[in-house]
Chains A and B, each alone.
Chain A
Amino acid sequence: MVVGAVLLLEATGLNFLRVANVKPDLLLILTVCHAYLRGPRQGAALGLLSGLAQDLYTGYYLGLNAVAKGAVGLAVGALEGKLYREGPHLAVPVAALATLFHELIFFLGLRYLGVAVPFGFAFVHIVVPACVYNAALTTLGYNPYHRLLQQLDRRRSVVPR
């Protein structure tokens, strides 16, 4: 449901928040934060799910977003427990690198599908601005998401089995 709501937001309201021709990828930010805090299994699962939802919504190249976001969830999840978690200081550069990774996978996928986008143009006008934008939003979103997961954990621990 959360993925669906975020996807709907991306398709409608976020278009008005374009900066340097790009809009933020909230599903990717969600995947990065989740994977960073919960590890590769959950990260990859959420990445696949959110990417698949995006593919189903757009209706073309089914699997392109799922693969890209699943791979990001897996890669970022591998860092779980190895980096400082209590604050967005390291999650932000991780989000920037994760976006770079995601966009490169996407670019290769487009090449594979025969959609020609010049690499230099794509790097300057899509990849770099997207990295900066997503990293900036991770600064805002990481702490609230971390607290939300902690609260959910606490609630689960007090529920009698």
Chain B
Amino acid sequence: MGPARSSYLQRLVLALTILGLALYVMRATAASLGNPVTALAHELLGPVKGGITEVGRFVSQKTYFLLSWRSLVRENEELRAEVGRLRAEVAELTEYRLENERLKRLLQYRDAAPGRGPLVVARVIARDPGNWFGTVTIDRGSADAVRRNMTVVTPDGLVGRVVAVRAHTSDVLLITDPRSSVGGLIQETRIPGVVEGLAGGFGLLRMLYIAKDAPVEVGQTVITSGLGGLFPKGIPVGTVAEVRPEGSGLFQVVVVRPFAQLNRLEEVAVLLGTGQ
């Protein structure tokens, strides 16, 4: 046997030994991953794998952003438009809800006071442009059976009377207008007087011609007296806010705060059975 043949055999034996060892190790480790070698490998390679995974995720995200930025921008615009539309819708629905509540109160007013006769609900569409007078324009006119001098109210109280009527709109003189004059009555003591406006935008009234010794107190309620024929009796006007002596010394001036929010009117009711 020559030296070349001997070297060949040695290499063959080494290769077979390695192969056999490998086959043994394969079989020995096939059943369990929890062997110490594997555990050690995982332990040592863990951070590396984690790092690689993070890098992969980062790249994936950036690639996704870069590849899909057009669709993202579009989606963003669509979402913004959707948010704007929904906000407008929420505001509109809120407005409807509030209007519904106000109209419901007007209907309850009609049901609670059937003796007042039929009424028509109207929207306030404009106001006097100045500060001195207090008139509002409503969106009901002669076509809706509105006539001059009809009483106008809200569920809170007296608003005024119709002073001008057109086919589809009317003007209402508010009780705060200095030209307005309403026969009034202190509900608790039945003391009569005349309730006059001071200025259109000013939120208070004054009740005149009340004798200086008449028992009037802050907090008492003023209602319409029905005298004069323009306004039906018993409609709430306001509460007494202040009582002070009048200049002549014969009377006292009673300052009245109206129940109706006359500077924030939106819907009113016209009592069709009044103003004859």
Residues of A at under 8 Å CB distance from B?
Answer: 7, 10-12, 14-15, 18, 21-23, 25, 27, 54, 57-59, 65, 106, 110, 115-118, 121-122, 125-126, 130
Contact = CB atoms under 8 A, between A and B. Distances in A.
Looking at B128, B132, B203, the one whose CB has the most chain A CB atoms below 10 A away is B132
Contacts of B201: 18, 21-23, 126
Contacts of B198: 117-118, 121, 125
Interface in B101-124: none
A49 B132 CA distance: 20
A116 B206 CA distance: 12
Interface residues of B, number: 21
Given A21-B201, A117-B198, A126 B132 contact: yes
A11 B128 CA distance: 6
B204 to A, nearest CB: 9
B199 A65 contact: no
Interface in B129-157: 129-133, 135, 137
22 contacts: A11-B127, A11-B129, A11-B137, A12-B126, A15-B127, A18-B201, A18-B263, A21-B199, A21-B201, A21-B203, A22-B201, A23-B201, A25-B131, A54-B129, A54-B130, A57-B129, A58-B129, A110-B178, A117-B132, A121-B199, A125-B202, A126-B202
Looking at A10, A14, A21, the one whose CB has the most chain B CB atoms below 10 A away is A21
A62 B201 CA distance: 21
A65 to B, nearest CB: 7
Given A21-B203, A59-B171, A125-B199, A10 B129 contact: yes
A54 B199 CA distance: 18
A115 B179 contact: yes
Contacts of A126: 131-132, 199, 201-202
Looking at B129, B131, B135, the one whose CB has the most chain A CB atoms below 10 A away is B129
Interface string B170-201: 01000000110000000000000000001101
A85 to B, nearest CB: 29
Contacts of A110: 132, 178
A33 to B, nearest CB: 18
Contacts of B243: none
A122 B126 contact: no
A12 B127 contact: yes
Looking at A11, A18, A65, A106, the one whose CB has the most chain B CB atoms below 10 A away is A11
A58 B202 contact: no
Given A11-B137, A57-B129, A117-B198, 13 more contacts: A11-B128, A11-B129, A12-B127, A14-B129, A18-B201, A21-B202, A21-B263, A23-B131, A27-B129, A59-B171, A110-B132, A115-B178, A126-B201
